[in-house]
Structure 1
C-alpha cells in the first residue's frame, strides 16, 4: 500500500496553498482518499504526479512582432 500524504504535506510538496489544493480536489482535478464521509483527506504520490501532469502546459512560441499593432503599408 502506498504512503498516504496529508493535505498540509501535499500542499507543501506542490508549492500551493491548502485552499488551492481543496479547490482542485472539489473540481475533480486531483484524486484523493477519504475513508469516512467528512473525515480526513489524504493523497497518494501517484495522484499528485497526475495532478502535476494535468496542470503542466507547454510554453508557447514567441510571436514574430513585438507589438499587436499592424504595420503600415509603405506608400510610393
Structure 2
C-alpha cells in the first residue's frame, strides 16, 4: 500500500515506477482526497527492481506498507 500527500497526487509516480524500473503496475484499490491518498498497488518484475523502485518512491515521500492481505484473487 502506498500512502502519499496531496502534493504527490499530481505527479506521475506510478507511471515512473513502471518506466524507470521496468515494472508492471496494477492498481488494485485506491482512494484520494485533498489531504492525502492511498493506492493498493501490485508490482510485478524482478525482485531487485522492485526493491529499487520502493527505495526510490520512499525517497519521494511516499509511505510503503505491505498489503498482501488486501487483494487475493
TM-score under structure 2 length normalisation: 0.28
Larger relative contact order (CA 8 Å, sep ≥ 6): 2
* Structure with more strand by fraction: 2
